[in-house]
Every structure is written in C-alpha cells, then in structure tokens.
Structure 1
Amino acid sequence: MKRTAKLSFYFVLFIIFGLIGMWMPLLGDDLHWGTYFGSNYFPNGIFTYYDGRYLGDLLVIMMTKIKTVAFLAYGIFPTTIVYLIQKIREEITPTKNIGLVSSAIATTAILLSPVMIFKQILGWHAGFANYLPSAIFPLFMLYLVLKNYENKHVHYYRTQMVLIFLAAVAAQFFAEHVTLLNCFNVVLVWIFFRKHFGSEFKKVLNLILGGNFLGAILMFINGAYIKILFGSDAYRSVSGSGTKDTLFHYLRITYTPKHLIIVGTAVLIFSIFTIFYSLKLKNTKQKIANFALLLSTYVVIAPFIVVSPFGSRCMFASYVFLVTIFAVNFDIFFNNYGKILLPLFGLVTLILGVRMDYLSHDYGQTFDMQIRYSQYQNTITRDTQYFLQYRNDRYIWMTGPIQTDNNFSELYVTHKDRNMVPINYYDWTDAQRKLKNKRFKNQTDYMKAFDKQILKKVKLIQAKEK
C-alpha cells in the first residue's frame, strides 16, 4: 500500500512537471537550438569551441525539437531531485507513516521558486537543460555518503559501480559551477570521511573521484575556456568582481537595495541558525547533511564572484540546497505530525502544479498562435506586422517584447521593414473567441478571418486614442 501511494505521488509530480515542459514556449536561444543552430551543433563541430556542456546542449537540442523529449525531461529531472531529497531525509532517520513530507515540501518550494529563478529554469528550455539536471548529482553524492556512513555491510554489484562511475562523468557536462562543486565535494569526502566507509564504498568513492575529475577535464579542455582565459570570448569572461555581469554586479543592477537587504539578511539568518542548530544535534548524519548542503550552497555560487555572465538561473543549485535543508529538518522535527503535514503540503503541491500547468498551456498556445499569425502575415502585402502579446512574462524568460525579439523575427518574420505593432493579449484572444464556433475550409481561411478581427480591434483602439 505504501509503495503504491509513493509511486502514485511521484507519478503525479512527473505529469505536473512534464506538462510544464511540453507547453512552455521556445524563447530566446531556444529558437536557435530548435532550428539551424541545433541541427549543425554537433555535425559541424561547433561543440568543440562553444562550451563543454555536451549533455546539457544535447538535451536542449532534443527538447526544442521534440515536445515528447521536453515532457520527459521536465518530468524526470525535477521529480528525481524531489525523490533524492526524500531519500536523504530517510537515510538520516526513519519516517513514520508513508514518509513523503520532505518530497511535498520540496515540490512546493520548486513550484514557488523566486520568479527570476523560475523563469530562467522552468520557463526557459535552455536554462532548464543545463542548470536543473546539474543539481541532481550533488544530492545523489550526499545520499550515498549518508547511506554508507559507518555502514560496513553495504554491497555494490559491478553493474552498480559502473553506472555510478558513468553518472559521475556525465554529471560534469551540464554547468561549469556545478562541475567544480562536484570535484570539491568528492575531494572533501575522500579526505575527511573515507575512514567511516566500508571497503566496498571506498571503491565506489574512488570511482566517483576519478569520474568527476575525468568529466571536469573533458569539459574544460573545450576550446571555449581557452578563449575565456585569454579574454577573447565575446560573451564570457573571468575578471574583477565589479565588472560585467559577475555575481555582485548582477545583483546590484537587477534588484533594489531594499530587496537585497531583505533577502540577504534572511539567507544569513537561515545559515547562522542552521549552523547553531546542527551543532546541537545528536544525529551525526543530520549534522553531515546540514553542513554539507550549507557549504555547497555557497561554494557552488562562489565562482561567479569573478566569472561572468551571471544570471538568476545560476542560483538554482543554491536554492535547491537551501530547500533541502529546510524540507529535511522540518520533516524530522515534526515527524510525529506526518499524517497532517502530508495531506496539507500534498494539496498545496497539487494546486500549485495545476496552476503552473494552466499558465504553461496558455503561454504555449500564445506562442503557437504567434507563429501561425506571423507566417500568415508573411504571405500578404501591407506595411504593418502585428504581434500577439503573452498574458504576461512573469514566468517565462523574455529579454524583451516579442515584436523586438530578433530570434523570433529571424525565423518567422519575412518583411522586417514593416511597422511592428503589438496586440494586447485580451484583444487578440477576444478576436479568437469570436471565431470559435465558426467553421473554415482550411487554416488560411481561418487566419484571414482572424486577421480581419485584429484589424477591427486596431481601428477601435485608434479611434479611442483619437
């Protein structure tokens, strides 16, 4: 019964996250990854000098070309993170009842991620492909450490060891800062904890050590990083902390001083509380988990003090580590109240999931209609090109309005000398509703009728303005 309930819970999460990925529009770099650039990336050897995120790049190419892959990726990777957070909690101390409170809290926190993080991770395929899967291996490593700490009887089959080694290598091909974190963590574990492991896991640990460093070497021998070191890369650089889009500069120009003070103070208080709370704990595994996660939170983001560009997506791993600390400790502290907490957080998760699926579906429909309408306008003669606006850009990564998006224009706008005019979301959806119950012979007839409705809206708007 418990097994069925757990499987059902994670299956629901898989569907919720998967639908977000399947319906989210392609934005910014996504459009190029999904067309000519992505098609030529590996066959033409672009990957040898673009960056070392080989698996992340492969994933974004497949996601932007095939919706089923986007559904599977969005479903699998976030659900895996949530699952690992629950496993970490269960390795610290046994759960009472079904034991999914940590999972529910973690899912709620991911769906309620700060908007700037959400839109660059779940609202942007290119951000998702590199920054979300990369957060999995540090959690997996922590789970292995807790599982094998002072446990000399854990046995690993050869197949398991090979798979762990391959995972250690593969984990290094998503995001550079997490690649460095993985190397940092495995060295730390090897130095300070290997005496607490049995002979079997020591072999596994050595494989992880070798795999992480092999993967890091394969990543950083990419031609892109040589250009970065010599300052000849137009996009990325290693420089002083006050220049370009490094961590502190980005925070200073993106957020208000009041916002920075509030969030910075909250994170500092949480960190200090975690340290003192952990020092008083009698459960050694819980101490290890808390200190490891807190240290990883700061280590993973530290390179961006001098490395640019930095974006909110780079904070995702740190956010996940902080969420893990909260979810695990909250769950353990209120272990006796699992029967109350699980339905509560489960309901919140479901509500948030349905809401985000609804918004994603709306974003996706707008994107699809935008393409269809642009392609229709390419076939007619006039001086104006109309662009359908999104309901909002709160949860998607738009660097500017669609009518000024060069990526979109390059692919879907033929007459670039036209006057580019935006059409408000509620105006064009109203035009669409008026055609809902009418029948059309083909797509072209439908778009003609839709275009007439848009022109009527434009005339009404112009009349009101006069």
Structure 2
Amino acid sequence: MTRTAKLSFYFILFIIFGLIGMWMPLLGDDLHWGTYFGSNYFPQGIFTYYDGRYLGDLLVIAITKVKVLAFLAYGIFPTTIVYLIQKIREQISPAKNIGLVSSALATALILLTPASIFKQILGWHAGFANYLPSTIFPLFLLYLVLKNYDNKNVHYYRTSMFLIFLAAISAQFFAEHITLLNCFNIILVWIFLRKHFGEQFKKVLNLILIGNFIGAILMFINGAYLKILFGSDSYRSVSGGETKDTMLHYLRISYTPKHLIIVGIILMLFTILAILYSLKLKNTKHKLANFALLLSTYVVIAPFIVVSPFGSRCMFASYIFLVTIFTINLDIFFNNYEKILLPLFSLIALVLGVRMDYLAHDYGQTFDMQIEYSQYQNTISRDSQYFLKYRDDKYIWMTGPIETDNNFSELYVKNKDRNMVPINYYDWTDVKRKLKNKKFKSRDEYMKAFDKGILKKVKLIQAKN
C-alpha cells in the first residue's frame, strides 16, 4: 500500500511538471534552438566554440523541437529533485509512516519559486535545460554521503559503480557554476570525510572524484572559455566591474534597495538560525546535511561576483539548496504530525500544480495562435502587423514586448517594414471567444474572420482614444 501511494504521488508530480514543459511557449533563443541554430549546432561544429554545456545544449535542442521530449524532461528532472530531497531526509531520520512530507513541501516550494527565477527556469526551455538538471548531482552526492557515513557494510555492484562514474562525468556538462561546485564538494568529502566510509564506497568516491574532474576538464577546454579568459568574448567575461552584468550589478539594477535589504536580512537570519540550530544537533548526519547544503548555497553562486552575465536563473541552485534545508528540518521537527502535514502539503502542491498547468496552457495557446496569425498576415497586403499579447509575462522569459521580439520576427514575420501593433490579451481573446461556436469551411476562413474581428477591435480602440 505504501509503495503504491508513493508511486502514485511521484507519478502525479511527473504529470504536473511534464505538462508545464509541454505547454510552455518557446521564447527568446528557444526559437533558434528549436529551428536552424539547433539543427546546425552539432553537425557544423558550433559546439566546439560556443560553450561546454554539451548535454544541456543537446537537451534544449531536443525539448524545443519535440513536445513529447519537453514533457518527459520537465516531468523527470524536477520530480527527481523532489525525490532526492525526500531520500536525504530519510537518511537522516526514517519517517514514521509513508514519508512524503518533504516531497510534498518541496514540490510546493518549487512551484512557488520567486517569479523572477521561475520565468528563467520553468518558463524558458533554454534556462530549464541547463540550470535545473544540473542541480540533481549535488543532491545525489549528499544522499550517497549520508547513506554511507559510518556504514561499512554498503555494497556496490560494478554496474552501479560504472553508472555513478558516468553520472559524475555527465553532471559537468550543464552549467559552469555547478561544474565548479561538484568539484569543490567532492574534494571536501574526499579530504574530510573519507575515514568515515567503508572500502566499497571509498572506491565509489574515487570514481566520482575522477569523473567530476574529467567532466570539468572536458567542459573548460572548449574554445569559448579561452575567449572569455582573454577577454575577447563579447557576451561573457570574468573581469567584473560596474559595467559588467555580474551578480552585484544585476541585483542593484533589478531590485529596489528596500527589497534587497529585506531579502538580505531574511537570508542572513535564516543562515544564522540554521547554523545555531545545526550546532546543537546530536544527529551527525543531520548536522552534516545542514552544513553541506548551506555551504553549497553560497559556494555555487560565488563565481558570479566576477563572472558575467548573471541572471535570476543562476540563483535557482541556491534556492533549491535552501528549500532542501527548510523542508527536511521542518519535516523532522514535526515528525509526529506527518498524518496532518502530508495531506495539507500535498493539497497545496496539487492546487499550485494545477494553477501552473493552467497558466502554461494559456501561454502555449497564445504562442500557437500568435504563430498562426502572423503566418496568415504574411499572406495579405497592408501597412500594419498585429501581435497578440500574452496574459502577462510573470512566469515566462520575455526580454521585451512581443512586437519587438526579433527572434520571433525573424522566423514568422515576412514584412519587417510594417507598423508593429500589439493587441491586448483580453481584446484578442474576446474576438476568439465570439468565433468559438461558429463553423468555418477551413482554417483559413477562420483566420479571415479572426483578423476581421481584430481590425474591428483596433477601430474601436482608436475611436475611444
């Protein structure tokens, strides 16, 4: 019964996250990854000098080209993060009953990721492909450490050891700051904790160490990083400074001083409380997990003090580590109330998931209608090109208004000399609603009627103004 309940829980999570990926529109450079640039990226050798995110780039090409793969990727990777958070909690202290409180709470908090981060992770395929899967390996390493800590009897088959070694290499091909974090973490474990492991896991640890450094070397010998090192890359740099888009510069121009002060105080208080609380813990694994996650939170983001460009997506790993600390500690602290907390957090996660699926579906329908309407306008002669605005851009990564999006225009707008006119979301959806129950001989006839409705809306707006 417990096994069935757990499988059902994670299957529902898989569906919730998968639908977000399948329905989210392609925005920004997603459009290029999903068309000519992605098609030529590996065949023409662009990957040899673009960056070392080989698996991340392969993933973004796949999910921007095939919706089924987007569904699978969005379903698998976030669910894996949630699963690992639960497994870390159980290694510290076994749950009394079904043991899904950490999973339910972590799911809710991932769906509640601050909008500025969410839009560049779950709301942007390119951000998702590089920054979300990369967060898995640091959590996996922590799980392995806790599982094997002072446990000399754990046995690993050769197949398992080979897969872990392969994972250690592969984990380095997604995002540079995570690549550095993986190397940092395995060195600390190897130096300070090795004596607490049995001979079998020491071999696994050596394989992870070798795998992480092989992966890091293969990433950073990419031609892109030599250009960055010598300052000849027009987009990325390691020099820092006020004119560069480093973390400090990004925060200063993106948030108000009041906002930064409030968040800074909350983060500082959380860190101090976590340290003081952890120091009093008698459970060594619990203490180790808290300090490891807290250290990773700050180490993973530290390179962006000098590395640019920095975006809110770069904060995702730190957010996940903080979520992990919070969920496992709350779960363990209220262990006796699992029967109350599990249905409560599960309901919250389900409501948030359905809400986000609804928003993703709406964003996706707007995107599909936008393409179809633009292609229809390419077949007619007039002075203006009309663009259908999204409901909002709170959870999707839009670098500018749709009518000024050069990526979209390059692919779907034939006449670039037209007046580019945006149509309010509620105006064009009103036109669509009025056509809903009418029958048309063809899709072209439908688009003619839709266009006629848009022109009427434009005239009414102009008359009103």
The one-letter amino acid of 1:23's match is: W
The one-letter amino acid of 2:53's match is: R
Give the SS at the match of 2:397: coil
- Unmatched 5+ stretches in structure 1: none
Give the SS at the match of 2:382: coil
Alpha-carbon shift at residue 58 of structure 1 (Å): 0.2
Residues matched between the structures, number: 465
Alpha-carbon shift at residue 240 of structure 1 (Å): 2.8
The one-letter amino acid of 1:106's match is: A
The one-letter amino acid of 1:395's match is: Y
Counterpart contact for 1:241–1:247, Cα < 8 Å: no
Counterpart contact for 1:246–1:308, Cα < 8 Å: yes
1:301 matched to 2:301? The reply is yes
Equivalent position of 1:205 in the other structure: 205
Aligned mates of 1:193, 1:265 — CA distance in 2? 33
Equivalent position of 1:91 in the other structure: 91
Equivalent position of 1:426 in the other structure: 426
Give the SS at the match of 1:156: coil
Aligned mates of 2:247, 2:380 — CA distance in 1? 47
The one-letter amino acid of 1:312's match is: S
Equivalent position of 2:263 in the other structure: 263
Displaced runs of 4+ in structure 1, greater than 4 A?
none
Aligned mates of 1:202, 1:164 — CA distance in 2? 13
The one-letter amino acid of 1:20's match is: I
The normalised TM-score by structure 2 is: 1.00
Counterpart contact for 1:64–1:125, Cα < 8 Å: yes
Equivalent position of 1:3 in the other structure: 3
The one-letter amino acid of 1:129's match is: A
Aligned mates of 1:311, 1:327 — CA distance in 2? 26
Equivalent position of 2:254 in the other structure: 254
Aligned mates of 1:446, 1:386 — CA distance in 2? 16
Give the SS at the match of 1:392: coil
Counterpart contact for 1:82–1:107, Cα < 8 Å: yes
Counterpart contact for 1:241–1:248, Cα < 8 Å: no
Equivalent position of 1:183 in the other structure: 183
Counterpart contact for 2:23–2:363, Cα < 8 Å: yes
Give the SS at the match of 1:387: strand
Aligned mates of 2:252, 2:92 — CA distance in 1? 39
The normalised TM-score by structure 1 is: 0.99
Aligned mates of 2:92, 2:362 — CA distance in 1? 41
Alpha-carbon shift at residue 242 of structure 1 (Å): 3.3
Aligned mates of 1:107, 1:239 — CA distance in 2? 37
Counterpart contact for 2:240–2:308, Cα < 8 Å: no
Counterpart contact for 2:120–2:397, Cα < 8 Å: yes
Give the SS at the match of 2:421: strand
Aligned mates of 1:326, 1:241 — CA distance in 2? 34
Equivalent position of 1:280 in the other structure: 280
- Unmatched 5+ stretches in structure 2: none
Aligned mates of 1:295, 1:440 — CA distance in 2? 61
Counterpart contact for 1:241–1:305, Cα < 8 Å: no
Alpha-carbon shift at residue 439 of structure 1 (Å): 1.2
Alpha-carbon shift at residue 188 of structure 1 (Å): 0.3
Cα deviation per residue 1:329-376 (whole Å; 9 max; x = unaligned)? Answer: 000000000000000000000000000000000000000000000000
Identity of aligned residues (%): 83
Alpha-carbon shift at residue 241 of structure 1 (Å): 4.6
Counterpart contact for 2:64–2:70, Cα < 8 Å: yes
Aligned mates of 1:403, 1:318 — CA distance in 2? 34
Equivalent position of 1:225 in the other structure: 225
Q: For the aligned residues, what is the CA RMSD?
A: 0.5
Equivalent position of 2:388 in the other structure: 388
Alpha-carbon shift at residue 438 of structure 1 (Å): 1.1
Equivalent position of 2:377 in the other structure: 377
- Which is further off, 83-92 or 238-247? 238-247
Aligned ranges 1:43-442 → 2 under 5 Å: 43-442=43-442
The one-letter amino acid of 1:137's match is: F
Counterpart contact for 1:274–1:290, Cα < 8 Å: yes
Cα deviation per residue 1:167-195 (whole Å; 9 max; x = unaligned)? Answer: 00000000000000000000000000000
Counterpart contact for 1:237–1:307, Cα < 8 Å: yes
